[in-house]
Chains A and B, each alone.
Chain A
Amino acid sequence: MYFQVKLSNKWRALPKLILCLLLIVLAVLGNSCSSNIAISDYTGNVSIKVVGKQRSDHGSACLPFATEEELFSAADYIFSGKITRIQNIEIDCNGVKLYKSLIKMSVDQFLKGNYDTTDITVMAGPVGGNRSGADLLDGLKKGDYGIFMAEAVAVDTYYEENNCTWNVAELCQAMFADDDRFGFIKESGKNAECRTSKSAYSSLTSYDWESVIEYTEKMISQNELEEYK
């Protein structure tokens, strides 16, 4: 009798167990399906997949240095907005891997340029660590509010890497104007944080949020004046 009861309990639990296993399998399958990003316009062997973590330990770069004026001039869009999603991706170009992040932002206000939507996805890449040991982009997170400087990506902007080409416009509408200096993040309270070497913005004396807005507007109007001349 005792064994019969035990057996019956086991059988009763079995459907629940199967259901749980099925859900786990579905979750794993769903996750693996959604981890690939399909692109259609490319040459060579290009595949793009979503990865969990930004690979800042992959390597280190030396970047071209742009002056403040060059930086504000290169940015087609300068806008304030909030990060709503960050997707870290691995792009495999014939075996050579690039690590990027697709940063989706809801735009609050365009200070320069105008993109006909309230959402914009910007592609950015790791640039290697700074003194604090973390990559500059590592610090960005969902919910961050700030001023961002981005270069527009035209419809047919082709990336070339290791004998592969692929159309960047399939992934994003813009790229940060400078990998190292993408803008300012508003910290809780009033201070702005600029994830770069401070000396890069020599005319910015205070990192108070109001000063950062004032500085950005001043740089944009100076830049527009130069272009007008």
Chain B
Amino acid sequence: MNYYATVNNTLEFIKENALIVGIIAAFCVVAITVGMWKVFQKAGKHPWMAVIPFARDYTLTEIGSTGLIGVLAYVILPILGIINLNGIRYFYDLNKGASKPIYAILFVLGTIFLAIALFFHVLSSIKLSNAFEKGTGFLIGLILLPPVFLLILGLDQSKYVRSVSTSLGLKASRAISNTLIYIVLVIMAIIWLVPFVCIVLQSFRTESTWSVGYVLPKQWGFQNYVDLWNSNFKRWYLNTFIIALIVAALQTIIVLCMSYTLSRFRFKLRKGLMQFMLILGMFPGMLTMIILYRVLKDLGLTESHAVPGLVLVYIASSGMGYYVSKGFFDTIPKSLDEAARVDGATRAQVLYKIILPLAKPIVIYTILTAFMAPWGDFVFAKYVSFEDPVGMNVAVGLWKWLTPDMINQRYTMFCAGGVIVAIPVAVLFMCLQKYYVEGVTGGAVKG
């Protein structure tokens, strides 16, 4: 029953979404072929090789000089995977209804083979892209994304669990489905992590300062970080940190007070105010940029005085971000407020003695988002600081290093700067991720 159901579900899904699956598949095929065609042309191989299945794979291993990995990735593993899938269909035809756990294991093995094949595919794609100019590699990497998503869709977790659990124990079926999910997640994580790993590696490269076509540095060292310390970066970092810290503190207070007020008090125009803010929030913030710049300019808060100006801009509209925390506050019973007020608490005491301890996840979520927004802001910061390095934040400053006239001296420093910028945010998230997830989802579900 399990295979029948699993394969059937997958086939059913493809049938139901035939058009979309077809389009994605056709797109993949065309894109891969076109990509290969260009690659082969550049490598001086015959471009028609890109259309012939095994010849294509062989040529790829030749160009990328990927050796055994390439052969594994392009020839052997896919064949294994295909054989395995075919085997499953065979079992499904023979055993409609009757089946054994061993089939499930074979199926999982087949999927693992496919997954490994995909993994090597990505690896050798990177190798290939190194052998050529960058860009080709990105193209191929992107082409690889759709099949990954197809895999996720096709192996819809709940269907799998249901179908297998009838013949396998619940534990075994959960283990199998978890394995599948983890394989997919690991692949996605790798794809996600590639740029970060590249940046970290580049930041330790000392043999040259310009951007190069390979990932692993030939000479390692901390020179980039030392240079960073002696540059304007220190100033930018401090600017950003001050801005983010002040905004995180003030915005959190404003948002929480606003949410509490809208959640607990009933006053005239309360609904109207909320609707007004909802509509106001629909206009992109960029619309206000020119007038805000004008105002800040007249106040003298631009260029070298951009920091207080930016703080002002970031916290100005923070009250409008009340939705998530108001939703969370709404789930806390009002009788708690009332009990506390009867017990002798003022409204403010109710907020910080009763509501905030209960809404810890949402408080942390608010602090995090309030900190993150100015930390990573580029557009407005660039606009306000203009060309003055004293008023820049990290995003703008680092961007300056990527302009054509500076990139050759600053590229590796830029990478080092990127790493330094990422550290506090990463640490914050690692410490608080538990609350963050609760905060994002907490408002929706009554707790």
A in complex with B:
no
